[in-house]
Amino acid sequence: MAHEKTLSELFHDTLKDIYFAEKKILGALSKMAKAAQSEELRAAFEHHEQETEEHVTRLEQVFGEIDQSPRGKTCEAILGIIEEGQEIMKEYKGKPALDAGLLAAAQAVEHYEMSRYGTLKTWAAELGLDEAVKLLDATLAEEKKADETLTKIAQESVNQHAEAA
């Protein structure tokens, strides 16, 4: 009989994808914090960088829940999103719209994470991995919060600054 790919394999594969992504995001957030002109935006990036370290730790715990050692698998999607953010940093360096561009790039990252964690949480529930559900949900809540904070900063200051110049 042919080897069948099961939901638990898909879960493990997707876990590797987001583990790879979170580690890349750690480096990207640190660069974006340094590049941000607005104090508020920089603080938001730095705060989320700290949370992201915790996301990596939680994922390691989820690997433990399925008796696997933590391993990443190249995630082309996150590499593309981060690459776009780096282009913005280069092209808008010193320009009024830099922060608006950085903020938009960061929101693309958050939305990618939200989609991954949402899916993983649903699969974990279907697989009866209760502890994994809790861990994934804790991170999902922080990704949503980070996205909301960025929206607020965009509306209250960064976008106006980009237009006013």
The correct pick among 98, 103, 113, 135 for binding Fe ion (CB under 5 A) is 113
Whole-angstrom distance, CA of residue 58 vs CA of residue 92? 35
The correct pick among 99, 123, 143, 158 for binding Fe ion (CB under 5 A) is 143
The correct pick among 16, 55, 116, 121 for binding Fe ion (CB under 5 A) is 55
Which is nearer to Fe ion, 119 or 161 (by Cβ)? Answer: 119
Please provide the size of the chain in residues: 165
> How many other C-beta atoms lie within 10 A of the C-beta of residue 10?
14
Q: Cβ of residue 143: shortest distance to Fe ion, in angstroms? A: 5
Contact 73, 20 (CB under 8 A): yes
Burial level of 164, CB count in 10 A (0-12/13-18/19+)?
Answer: exposed
Instruction: Look up tokens 């991954």; give the residue.
Output: 116
Which is nearer to Fe ion, 38 or 107 (by Cβ)? Answer: 107
Q: Cβ of residue 51: shortest distance to Fe ion, in angstroms? A: 7
Contact residues: Fe ion, CB under 5 A: 52, 55, 113, 143
